[in-house]
Amino acid sequence: MRVFKFGGASVKDAEAVRNVVKVLQEVGHKDTLVIISAMGKTTNAMEMVVKAYFEDKSALSGALQKVVDYHNTILSNLFNNTGHPVYEQIKLLFDEVKGFLAWNKSPKYGFVYDQIVGYGELLSSTIICNYLNEVGLSNTWLDVRTLIKTDSSYRDARVNWERTQQEVSRRVDMSKLNITQGFLGSDENNFTTTLGREGSDYSAAILAYCLNADSVTIWKDVPGVLNADPRNFDKAELLDQISYREAIELAFYGASVIHPKTLQPLQRKDIPLHVKSFLNPLGAGTTVGKGVDILPKIPCFIVKKNQVLLKLSSLDFSFIVENNISEIFKLFHDHRMKVDLIQNSAISFSVCLDNKFNGLQDMLNELKRKFKVVCHEDVSLYTIRHFDDKSVQSLQNGRAVLVEQRGRETIQLVVK
């Protein structure tokens, strides 16, 4: 069995959905599990619904209506018959969202977030399932929440691999074309959980691992894995083939094409990963597979924007040692701050953080009780794998470098 994953850009409107059909017709669709992300920017739109729910109830109806209108437009462009069952199916999904917003009593943001935002994938996969059937590609719709079982760490759930393996083995007919969702799972109480932003790639890897799949293909709007994001760097080049190890390194540092958690399950069972363009499905793309010597022959550039650089020093000029660092990292964990770079000296400690869960201010209040804190917000963290002098100079030119960390293969620069 093969596992395909189509991201938001590949299903953003009716024309994109038709292109998914074209891709499946060109590359084959038998014995295939297709994982669908939310359409276009639906996840962002659903996040605005959650924000309105907590901060401005008067804006809630309007925020949700935007999502309704967006999907209804796609429906009307795909299905001429307004009596088609898909219309009622989509209405029922939105009724579930409205019902949850009406009866929910939980004040926990993460829990509410997962119950609401996860509907983006349920909506998109329902539409695509029906459209594929309409054009003759018979398929089975699967609710991924019955397949991927997790703990209750909402917004960043951890997979229960044993339970997931049991459910996948029991529920997936590998001889059919199956349609399911990315990003989602469910906990032991069957509440929806999410695997972290951009987690649909990880979903593909989880299901491929449990199915002993022959391969995973991620369909993108780029020709494959590039040595730089073309939105941020000029003259990006295609990497034809790289090893699991190198892909994991690039993903760890923030390369946006592959989700950081995706590679480990695939590597454990030696399942190749293909990254290909849905605009050119027969193109070679990039293959990620076994082979320690498969390294890029050119520098690879990665940037993480909107980061936070903290510089901590002791109030009495004493050394920052193990017990201090342990205390600091406990605060990072408690406030769900992701650490991207560390640099320390005898009396100071610098760290670049991703404040994706907005825990910065509360954490700063606690840190300032014991340390002198200098905080630089809205910095960018640049990473170059397999750097040379020319590539480093291209980043340093005209930028204020706050921290530089250089290793044998990788250099990182925090710049303002």
Annotated binding-site ranges for ATP? 231
Domain locations along the chain: 2-220, 300-415
Cβ neighbours of residue 15 under 8 Å, at least 6 residues apart? none
Amino acid residing at 235: K
Measured CA to CA, the distance from residue 132 to residue 21 in angstroms comes to: 7
What is the identity of the amino acid at 150?
T
The confidence score (pLDDT) of residue 293 equals: 60
Query: Mean pLDDT, 10 residues at a time, over the chain (416 residues)?
Result: 96 98 96 97 97 97 98 97 96 98 96 98 98 97 98 96 98 95 97 90 97 96 89 88 87 77 92 96 92 73 95 84 86 93 87 92 93 94 93 87 93 94
- Residue 36's pLDDT is 98
Residues 415, 341 contacting (CB under 8 angstroms)? no
Find, among 15, 10, 66, the residue nearest to 36 by Cα.
10
Tell me the fold of 300-415. Answer: VC0802-like (3.30.2130)
How does strand 300-314 pair with strand 32-36? unpaired
Measured between alpha carbons, how far is 35 from 22 in angstroms, rounded to an integer?
A: 16
Ranges of beta strands (E only) in 223-279 are 241-243, 273-277
For residue 156, give the amino acid letter: D
Helix (H, G, I), strand (E, B) or coil at 198: coil
- Of the candidates 323, 283, 286, 328, the one whose C-alpha atom is nearest the C-alpha of residue 310 is 328
DSSP code for 146? G
DSSP string, 158-189: PB-HHHHHHHHHHH--TTSEEEEESSEEE-TT
Question: How many other C-beta atoms can be found within 10 angstroms of the C-beta atom of residue 170?
Answer: 9
Binding site members? 231
What's this model's pTM, rounded to 2 decimal places?
0.84
- The CATH number of 2-220 is 3.40.1160.10
Helix (H, G, I), strand (E, B) or coil at 373: strand
Q: Do the beta carbons of residue 126 and residue 93 sit within 8 Å?
A: yes
